Every structure is written in C-alpha cells, then in structure tokens.
Amino acid sequence: MALALISGGSGMIGTALSRLLLEKGHRVVVLTRDVMKRSEFGESVEWDGVHPGLWMDWIQKSDWLINLAGENIGGKRWSTEHWRAVRESRVFTGELLTEAVRRSSRKPSVMLQMSAIGYYGIQYAGDTSALDENSPPGNDRLAAVCREWEASSYKVEELGVRRLIIRTGLVLNRKAGVLPKLDLPFRFFVGGPMGNGRQMYSWIHIDDLVQGMLYLLENPGLSGAFNLTAPEPVSNAEFSRLLGRILHRPSWLPVPAFALKLALGEMSTLILDGQRVLPKRLQSESGFTFMYPDVQSALQDIYN
C-alpha cells in the first residue's frame, strides 16, 4: 500500500484518481484550503498552497506526491488578473512542494506533476501534423505557462525523486470539465461544429486518464513527460457528429468563429485552435492499454 499525498485533489481529476487509489488499497491524503469541506475520497490536511506549514510533515510520510493544483484556465474570461492566477497557482505550488521535499528527511519515491498539451502550442485548423513527447514547446501564452508549470518541480529529480510529467488533453467526463459545456447546445437541438470544424481535439476518457496515472506511478522504470491523450484524435466536426448521434440530436448548426471570439474573447482559442497529440511514450515504452481508444466508444460509455 502506498500513501498518496495529493494537491488539487478535490477537482475532477483529483476526485477520480483518489477514488481509484482507494479502490486499489492505497491511502489518500488531500491537501486542501478548506479542511472543513472534507474530501469524499481520502483524508484532508489544511494548506494554502503558498506558505510552508504543518502540512509539510506529510511529505516524509508519503510514497507518492501528486501535484494537480491549478486555477481553472477556462473558468473565467481571460484577463491579466486571471492569467496571473492561472500561472501563479501552478508555478508557486510546484515550487512550494519541491521545497517541502528538499526539507523532508524522507523523500517520496515519485512525484507526479500535472501539465497539459498546451505545452506544444496551438495548431491552426488544417494542420494535422502529429505531436508527441519529442515535439518542441510552443511559443504562445498557454505554452509558456505550461513550460513554467513543468519546470516548477524539476529540482526534485536532483533530490533523487523520480518525476512524472502528465500532459493531458480534453478530459471527457459527463458531470464535469469540458463535456457538459460541449453537449449543452445539442440538448437544445442547436448543436454543430465550432468554427470550420477542422481543428483537432486530443482527448481522453477520465477513466483512462486516472488508470494511466496509476500505471505510471506503479512502474518505477518510467519517468519524464507522457502525453495522456487517446491514440485517436478527432476533428471538431467529427466529434460533434458523434456527440449528436449518441445524444439522438442533430448536428446541423455550425457556430461561426466570429461569434465565439465575440463571446469568449481570447479564450476562444481553446475551442477554435486544436492539437493533434499522440501518446507515443505511453504506448511504445510502457505497454499501457486504453479502454477507450476512440471517441465513439468513450462517448457511448459516458452517456449510456
């Protein structure tokens, strides 16, 4: 049994991962700002994500340190203030956890650092070239944040801790994340492609995501960056067609790009500009098997 110490454990991914870890017989301790709001899955320890404190005592007790913390990038319209919160909640947390590991007399055996495929930068519609873990980072604002996010905890490697970097795509979950926002127009019979529909979505079913994370944690020979995305990216148009079919709704009303830009501002890039990312290392080096390799099987499981 491993003791997993998780920052950001009360979010969608953290909750699903905590549930899986407990099912597998591991112990889960969640670092939280609101200790009175105890996690449904695991024990809770108070911290503020900024300052050292008594929570650091848990570092030397933990076997797995899992950093999922970060302000929701799509939670608000993008502004200078929101971007500051997005960056600082990721970078400062990684640096704080690294300092806690440095101070600890007993180190965790592994640290899992969350990141995102935004690391590679956006691909404009029509660019279907494949991106894998060897692809260079992008140069847009989101890519810059991802680079700093990943770098925030790199010093744990110098302390002898195996480090995993998890670059996720669109995480498909019926009750949280991006999917409830994408399926809402279909429920009102006004669903359809976004923009020209050619932008590629690199996605993953929530169950495959947390199973992949556990697989990497349990295999000591694996380290470094891994794309946790399904092996079959899909265009927005095809995603919309399949979503409509599974929901028994038409996919007939395209949403013009200008309307999304007007409504969402710069944040519209998350919808209009995609990425074709492949999980090369996860498949070729680790032997991990996806339960839902294609989007049709994933959506059928989620809705049926």
- Of the pLDDT bands very low, low, confident and very high (cuts 50, 70, 90), residue 125 is low
Per-residue pLDDT averaged across 118-124, rounded?
89
* Greater model confidence, 85 or 159: 159
Q: Give the pLDDT confidence score for residue 126 in this predicted structure.
A: 66
What confidence score (pLDDT) does residue 35 get?
Answer: 64
In this predicted model, which residue has the larger pLDDT, 7 or 33? 7
Superfamily of segment(s) 3-303 = NAD(P)-binding Rossmann-like Domain (3.40.50.720)
pLDDT in tens, 129-185: 899 999 999 998 899 999 999 999 999 999 999 999 999 999 999 988 888 888 888
- 125-154 burial, b at 16+ Cβ within 10 Å, e below that, comes to beeeeebebebeebeebbbbbbbebbebbe
Tokens of residue 88, six digits: 């600082």
pTM of this prediction?
A: 0.93
Please tell me the distance from the alpha carbon of residue 128 to that of residue 148, in angstroms, as a whole number.
Answer: 26
DSSP-derived pairing of the beta strands 234-235 and 27-32:
unpaired
Mean pLDDT of 182-209: 89
Query: For residue 40, what pLDDT is reported?
Result: 65
So what's the pLDDT on residue 36?
63
Q: Region 116-123: what's the mean pLDDT?
A: 92
pLDDT at 101: 98
pLDDT tier at 93, thresholds 50, 70, 90: very high
- Would you state the pLDDT for residue 191? 81
Q: Encode pLDDT of 253-287 as tens digits.
A: 888 788 777 777 777 777 788 899 999 999 998 88
The pLDDT assigned to 176 comes to 86
pLDDT at 38: 56
pLDDT tens profile 22-76: 999 999 999 988 766 655 667 899 998 889 999 999 999 999 999 999 887 777 7
Least confident stretch, 32-41, 73-82, 225-234: 32-41
Alpha-carbon distance of 191 to 33, in angstroms, equals: 38
Mean pLDDT score of the chain: 90
Give the alpha-carbon dihedral of 103, 108, 109, 110, to 10 degrees: -100
